[in-house]
């Protein structure tokens, strides 16, 4: 170190800040490189670790000039929709090429979906958005606090403007921003580090989690009480309306999909609540803003069969293939003008007009 006795000037301040900016810009990719090489977790930018892969893939696609079709929802979409199957089905059905990606977020509620749709998917140019919803998505869950302390959840709390735009840009491009929570949690002991556990091990390059087995044991467990009694809170219902409005205003085709449940769970939900849920969705979406396809019906669940489910609320890989094909057929019909193949059981689903 060498000292100097020159008076402190603004020039010295500006020079220091300029050099600081250069150092941070240079060091940031190095941090990313080291983290990818030596750190076991992906960036913790959303509610959970797996959601990073789909979101990052989406950003890569849009940066490469592609306009992907996005599937978003909870862990049900991780398992239940295979973008590769969707793309190949569309190609088979229409002869046209599409590219899709699965941006599921474990425990996602409608407000998180709204944040993603309004601030990332639509501005970045998604060509269509499937929001795979469920009956748990319209009330506060314990995941809300975790979401708000995640970098993306934190940025989403900003008012629209420079700060929010800059935050989102950093989240996409800066390793320090992406690994913020990982480093923070590592240093402060806020949570244990996940050394390759969890289902992000089985995610493919489009964010889809393949699970081949049927976990019969889980079917004898108590019914998850967050499906019934149905709880709908006003801010979460409003979030769905905001999704639909954003889609309409940007001319982005959006489809709200009610995911199918395993027969044993479906049967304990009162039919009045199923009807109430469907009505709520239709009212929230309004006329013509977004399509609504409901696969949580007697005939769709029967068509899928028990062997299509990993557990009560997640499809397994065979189930995902059947279900994704169904989505592709309906999408090709409604948005690409293709006739529905004769053998397709698409009529099992309720579809809004």
Partner 1 sequence: MFTSLGFWIFALAVLLLHNTTRGRLQNAILLAASYLLYVYFDWQFLLLLIAATTLTFVAGRNLAPTMRYRRLFFYAGILFDLGVLVFFKYAGFFTASISAALNGAGTTAQPYALNILLPLGLSFYIFRLLSYLFDVYSGRLAPTASWIDVALYVAFFPQIAAGPIERATHFLPRLQVTRRLDQAQFVTGLTYIFVGLFYKIAIADPLAPMTERTFSNISQLMPLDALAAIIWFSIRLYADFAGYSALAIGFSTWFGLPAMENFRQPYFSQSITEFWTRWHISLSTWFRDYLFYPLTRFLLKRLGRRFALAINAAGLLITMLVTGLWHGSSLTFSVWGLLHGVYLIWERLLARPPTASPGRWQHRITVVFNILVTQCLVAIAWVFFRAPTVQDALLFFQKLLAPNYALDSLWLRSVATPLIVLILFDVLLARAVRVTAFWDLHLIWRVALLAVLVVALFILGSSSSEAFVYVRF
Binding-site ranges for partner 1 (CB under 8 A): 1-5, 7-10, 12-13, 15-16, 19-20, 23-24, 27, 149, 154, 176, 180, 183-184, 186-192
CB-neighbour burial class of residue 197 (10 A; exposed 0-12, middle 13-18, buried 19+): exposed
Sheet with 254-258, side-by-side order of all strands:
100-104, 69-73, 128-133, 254-258, 291-294, 350-351
Q: Please say which residue, 181 or 297, places its beta carbon nearer to partner 1.
A: 181
- Rounded Cα distance between 327 and 86, Å, is 8
- Rounded Cα distance between 204 and 201, Å, is 9
Q: Please say which residue, 147 or 295, places its beta carbon nearer to partner 1.
A: 147
- Residue 314 CB, shortest distance to partner 1, in Å, is 30
- Residue 242 CB, shortest distance to partner 1, in Å, is 24
Contacts of 273 (CB under 8 A, 6+ apart): 135, 228, 229, 230
Q: Please say which residue, 18 or 268, places its beta carbon nearer to partner 1.
A: 18
- Residue 39 CB, shortest distance to partner 1, in Å, is 14
- Residue 162 CB, shortest distance to partner 1, in Å, is 12
Q: Please say which residue, 148 or 299, places its beta carbon nearer to partner 1.
A: 148
Contacts of 124 (CB under 8 A, 6+ apart): 58, 59, 62
Which DSSP symbol is given to 200?
G
Q: Please say which residue, 59 or 158, places its beta carbon nearer to partner 1.
A: 158
Q: Please say which residue, 23 or 33, places its beta carbon nearer to partner 1.
A: 23
Contacts of 199 (CB under 8 A, 6+ apart): 50, 75, 78, 209, 211
- Rounded Cα distance between 277 and 273, Å, is 6
Nearest to 152 by CA among 78, 252, 49: 49
Q: Please say which residue, 20 or 268, places its beta carbon nearer to partner 1.
A: 20
- Residue 157 CB, shortest distance to partner 1, in Å, is 9
Does residue 160 come out as left (phi exceeding 0), alpha (psi in the -120 to 50 range) or beta?
beta
Q: Please say which residue, 17 or 302, places its beta carbon nearer to partner 1.
A: 17
What's the length of the chain?
353
- Residue 52 CB, shortest distance to partner 1, in Å, is 18
Whether the CB-CB separation of 152 and 171 falls below 8 Å is answered with: yes
- Residue 5 CB, shortest distance to partner 1, in Å, is 7
- Rounded Cα distance between 348 and 339, Å, is 17
- Residue 91 CB, shortest distance to partner 1, in Å, is 44
Nearest to 115 by CA among 100, 128, 105, 102: 105
């Amino acid at each position: 170190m060498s000292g100097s006795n020159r008076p402190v000037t603004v020039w010295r301040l500006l020079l220091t800040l300029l050099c600081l900016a250069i150092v941070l810009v240079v060091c940031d990719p190095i941090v990313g490189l080291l983290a990818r090489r030596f750190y076991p977790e992906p960036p913790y930018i959303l509610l959970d670790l797996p959601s990073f892969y789909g979101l990052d893939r989406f950003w890569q696609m849009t940066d490469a000039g592609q306009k992907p079709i996005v599937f978003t929802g909870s862990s049900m979409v991780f398992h239940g929709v295979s973008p590769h199957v969707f793309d190949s089905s569309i190609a088979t059905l229409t002869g046209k090429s599409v590219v899709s990606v699965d941006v599921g977020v474990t425990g996602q509620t409608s407000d998180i979906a709204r944040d993603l749709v309004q601030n990332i998917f639509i501005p970045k140019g998604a060509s269509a958005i499937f929001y795979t919803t469920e009956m748990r998505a319209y009330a506060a869950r314990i995941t809300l606090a975790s979401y708000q302390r995640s970098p993306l959840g934190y940025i989403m709390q900003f008012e629209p403007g420079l700060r929010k735009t800059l935050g989102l840009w950093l989240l996409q491009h800066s390793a320090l921003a992406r690994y913020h929570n990982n480093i923070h949690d590592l240093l402060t002991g806020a949570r244990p580090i996940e050394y390759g556990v969890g289902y992000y091990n089985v995610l493919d390059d489009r964010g889809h989690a393949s699970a081949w087995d049927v976990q019969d044991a889980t079917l004898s467990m108590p019914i998850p009480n967050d499906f019934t009694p149905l709880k709908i809170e006003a801010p979460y219902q409003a979030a769905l309306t905001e999704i639909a409005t954003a889609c309409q205003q940007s001319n982005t085709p959006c489809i709200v999909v009610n995911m199918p449940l395993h027969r044993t769970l479906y049967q304990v939900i009162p039919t009045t609540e199923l009807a109430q849920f469907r009505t709520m969705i239709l009212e929230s979406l309004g006329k013509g803003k977004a399509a609504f396809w409901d696969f949580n019906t007697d005939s769709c669940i029967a068509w899928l069969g028990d062997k299509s489910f990993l557990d009560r609320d997640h499809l397994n890989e065979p189930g995902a293939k059947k279900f994704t094909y169904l989505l592709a057929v309906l999408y090709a019909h409604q948005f690409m003008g293709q006739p529905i193949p004769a053998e397709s059981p698409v009529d099992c689903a309720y579809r809004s007009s």
